[in-house]
Chain A
Amino acid sequence: MKTFLFFLQTAFVRLQRGGQRSLVALLCVVFGVMSLVAMTTLAKSIEEMLVLEPQEMIGGDLTLDRTDESVISSSSEAGLQKLLADGMISNYTLIDYNTSLGFRLPDSAEMIFPSVGMGVDTGKYPLAGNLTFVDMTDKPLDDLLKSPDDVIITRDLALTYKLNVGDTILLSDLNYGQPLTAVIRGIASDTPNHQGSKIYFSHETSQALTGLDSSANTVLVSAENPDEVLTKLESLGWRVFTVQHLADVSAATQGALAMGLNDIGLLGLLVSGIGIANTMQALMRRRRKEVAIWKTLGYSSGRIQSMFIAEAGLLGFFGSLVGASLGVLLSLGMVGLFSRITTVLVKWSFSPKEAISGVVVGTMTTIIFAMWSIVSTSRVTPQSLLRNEEPGISQIPAGQGLLLGLLLVIPFMAIAVWVLKSFLTGLLVLIGTILALAVLGAILWLLVFLAAKIFPTRNWALGKISRKGLTQRGSSQFFAMVALFIGVFMLGLGTVITESGNQVTGMIAGPARAENLAIFTTADQEQMVLRVLADNHVNEYATGHTYSVNEIMIPEKIDLPQAPVLFSRSDPGTATITGALWGSRPDGAYAYPYTDIPVGTMLEITAADGSLHEVEVVGTFDNGDQISWPGMNNQFLVSEDVGAELGDVVSSQFYLSIEPERLSALQSSLGKALPNSTLLSMPDYQMHYVRQYQNLFVFVAAMAGLAVMAGILLVANSVNLAMLDRRFEIGVLKSIGYSRGQVIFTQVVEYCIMSLVVSLVALLLIWGMLGLSGLVNETLSTLLMLPPDTAVIIGLAAIILTGSAAVWAAWKPSSVSPVLILNDRD
């Protein structure tokens, strides 16, 4: 016990007095454990959002809707009631599923678009899963949604737009237009299928939003034997969705994502382990003499190994404590970032088990990766002490080396299996990663070697020293090169994503659009709108209407009834018309091209008054890459005359083209003058998509930042090692007149050459990948790009960071007096 305590005390003191080298080793451990804990916590948080009960995916055993009805009729519901009475289904509830909602705050013109609005039966919903609330309220749903102006929003909307219980919002169905002043009565922390970006309200609210007497369009059903009742339901004209397929796909997707994150965590740990191995090699090399001294005092190789294992263990423990703490904090940020790029309500799920596991794994990893240099150094033969020489090491025999290697691989393999939760996956990932790193490192080393060979150094002594360092000792920079490559590659990839996002949003926005402001309103508000427009000197605009008819059928596709809605416009606006020119066939209809309804198809339309009409499809309309106004797609576009003849007006629209500099002010003044209408500016609508890309970039940038950090850490590590190797050389250089600055400069040049080559390779690889993807898909060639000037900035940043790391790592070692180095004293 006393001996063990002495070992620990000695190890602790040695770490304290280790200076920069101990710090670099500590940072390697911190980085590795931080990555591991952050990624595994993020993965766990995502995994917990995996829907465990398939019914939670869709809120029941089955989801039903009807293609022949835009809303569920009372006769259709009667069919369900009979099934309930017969015991074929155990329960059902009607849902108003709405994807055309937008809301704004009373004092803001910005429209916010949730993914979905859910009008629910407050007495029954949900049939499966839970709707939980941020303030842990036990109030039942029908208490929270008592009146028609009560709504519940999910916590992601509340966080993003800083909304609280009691806040007022102006909510609109853009297919109808009349806004509803609503009050937030609850903030949902979780929903049955863990999806966010939702607004919940009662059926009454839904009716007020849509102007319809009944607005339910979906049914959730619980049944003991879903497969049995499926056939019956289909025979009654229902379109039925079952849970299992959806659950399997979702689980696979989210499982793959969680696995990917765990892989990244493990990779971070592996990279840090490599850094630890490098650093321990450097530390042990400096202590060969010390080991020889211990041996002369009677310490055996085994005891010496125990001492150094204690030191590695302490280093691993303290580094892991810091790393685990930082990892927990980082995971909190990553969960927040991740939530913003998806609609999944990922909750930060922290358990002390993850952090404690991280500390244990980090400590074990440090010991594992330090073992080779510990065992190797413990073989020091102390005879050289009697000759005042630096002790040599007798190499580990091949057989013993192989055994040692296996003994080290096995525990790290166990760690990999534990992190990835699968033996086969752990084995494949570990072997695959090591092989990939080895091949990559070999290629990079070769390229750096060649670059160093051709580096011009005529009459430049410092350059010659740098070149010699690269060609003779470049292998010690192996891992630094690999880590830096990964960092630059990730950063470049993140830039490609941002640039493509800018491309997409640029395409979406396009050149200044002809129409950039829309007014959605009810038919009875049209005159009011016209008056306000005139008052504001807006004289040019297009009009549109949504008409409901009884039925639209295509004889050739009798099994695919069409939504009984017609959309009319006074002009096609920004849509691209193919087929008959607009106005040349005012009696015809234009189909949305992706509905696969060919030109010439005859539509059989039962008008609102019950009369039957035939309307020919004379062309298609398409907005191309631009975002279309809500409600336009998936409908048949007709002239105002045809629409008015066949249908009842559901809503009216006005489309304005306003000078961009006037847009915001006009939107605000029109908004105040038209409290019963909903105004939507195209820039606001586009922002909705832009924001998702921006959040995605932030997430990718965060991941790339971690990779770059790893690269810089290993560069610093590598420089430290190099400075140790070259102590005597530095002493000689300084003794013949080289200054400290010149010594550091040789290091900077050496590592900048390395960084230049590595960055170039990474960026060229990205360009190669983009070129290949462009060959496969033409759209990708215009969408995915890495502009040369951006690539130059990334490369320069990498070089500057590397150079700075080299200066930092070389600063102290280069300050030692040549006398001390040449006398080999610390």
Chain B
Amino acid sequence: MIANTPRFLDQGEATLVVEFGDSVDPEINAKVLFLDVELNSKKVSGLQETTPSYRSLLICYEPLELKRALLIEIIEEILSKLNNFPPMLSGRVWTIPCCYDGSFAEDLTEAAQALSLPKEDISRLHTQPSYRVYMYGFAPGWCYLGGLPQALSLPRRLTPRSPTPNGAIMIGGGLSLIGTHPMPTGWYVIGRTPERLFSINRDPPFLLSPGDTVLFEKITLARFFDLERRVMNGEIIAKMADSQ
């Protein structure tokens, strides 16, 4: 059951975790993101930083300025506006080009075998749904996407693979992931995007926000290199639209 009354858990005296459930679920995540947006719009004195994740919101605050009881009061007031409906998110819809060509899909053969699917089916299935940006984590700009088709759901590797390149599109643990900084992971690389989700010299440095929607558009190798050149020149090539 998903309650509007979350659990308030302390992670030390300066961090409050507001937990809405214990599963990866769009409705639970919507509540996390609703609270995140509303709380940050209030400019509460002593509130330092919030980190949304699948099912909870981490709130860093200065307890010598902001009393825990007052913080909870503010949160409960925000949540009283939720009623019983999952909140609508005003996230943006992004179309992100992805090349599933063999040279960019190091783990495609292995993933296809593990899923008992023909290799060609993977890109077809991966481009079908609209994904939801649940959270960032792991490393700067690493974006976790919910909505992966069941047919592509496979557990992560037990032993991490070699570092993934910037822009790697991965699947694992029932989710999809877009990588940035090269890191060793247990995820399977099935393609690559020329877009950069994180670029220090760009404003904004981070492209997607939790709550946004992502669609993947299959592109050829030639198109990839063309778009990559434009990205190198500072252009944002992912297409963006408002969801409502």
A, B from the same assembly:
no
Chain B residues engaging chain A, CB cutoff 8 angstroms: none
